[in-house]
Amino acid sequence: MYKVAIIGASGFTGAELLRLCAGHPNFEVAIATGETQAGSAVATLYPSLAAHYPDLTYSPVDLSAVDGCDIVFLGLPHGASQALVPELLSRVSHVVDLAADFRLRDATLYPTWYGQDHEVPALLDEAVYGLPELFRGGLLGARLVAVAGCYPTAASLALAPFLRAGAIETAGIVVDAASGVSGAGRSPKTSTTFCAVDEDYTAYGLAGHRHTPEIEQSVATLPDGSTVSGVSILFTPHLAPMNRGILANCYARSGAGYLDTDSALAILAECYANEPFVVVNERSPSTKTTLGSNAAHLTARVDPRTGLLVTICAIDNLVKGASGQAVQCANAVLGLDETTGLSAIGIYP
What string of DSSP letters covers 79-113?
TSGGGTHHHHHHH-SEEEE-SSTTT-S-TTHHHHH
What string of DSSP letters covers 257-289?
S---HHHHHHHHHHHTTT-TTEEE-SSPP-GGG
Say how far residue 73 (Cα) sits from the centre of its chain. Answer: 13
Positive or negative, the CA dihedral 43, 46, 49, 50 is: positive
Contact 81, 75 (CB under 8 A): no
CA 152, CA 315: separation in Å to the nearest integer? 11
User: pLDDT tens digits, residue range 197-241?
Assistant: 999 999 999 999 999 999 999 999 999 999 999 999 999 999 999
Q: Say which DSSP state 61 is in.
A: -
Whether domain 2-126 has CATH 1.25.40.10: the reply is no
Residue 294 φ then ψ, to 5°: -95, 20
The span from the first CA to the last CA of the chain, in angstroms, equals: 34
Active site residues: 150
- CATH 3.40.50.720 maps onto the chain at 2-126
Contact 304, 254 (CB under 8 A): no
pLDDT at 188: 84
pLDDT at 267: 98
Question: 3-class DSSP state for residue 167?
Answer: coil
CA 113, CA 251: separation in Å to the nearest integer? 23
Q: Return the H-helix or E-strand segment holding 51.
A: none
Residue 331 φ then ψ, to 5°: -60, -45
**What CATH number has the domain spanning 151-317?**
3.30.360.10
Say how far residue 28 (Cα) sits from the centre of its chain. Answer: 22
User: pLDDT tens digits, residue range 20-37?
Assistant: 999 999 999 999 999 999
| Strand partners for 216 | none
Task: Give how far Cα 164 sits from Cα of 76, 172, 201, 232, 297, Å.
Answer: 33, 16, 33, 15, 19
Q: Say which DSSP state 310 is in.
A: E
CA 132, CA 294: separation in Å to the nearest integer? 12
- CATH 3.30.360.10 maps onto the chain at 151-317
Angle at 124 (CA atoms; ends 72, 139), nearest 5 degrees: 55
User: pLDDT tens digits, residue range 326-339?
Assistant: 999 999 999 999 99
Question: 3-class DSSP state for residue 338?
Answer: coil
CA 240, CA 171: separation in Å to the nearest integer? 28
pLDDT of the chain, 349 residues: tens digit per residue: 999 999 999 999 999 999 999 999 999 999 999 999 999 999 999 999 999 999 999 999 999 999 999 999 999 999 999 999 999 999 999 999 999 999 999 999 999 999 999 999 999 999 999 999 999 999 999 999 999 999 999 999 999 999 999 999 999 999 999 999 999 999 889 999 999 999 999 999 999 999 999 999 999 999 999 999 999 999 999 999 999 999 999 999 997 777 999 999 999 999 999 999 999 999 999 999 999 999 999 999 999 999 999 999 999 999 999 999 999 999 999 999 999 999 999 999 9
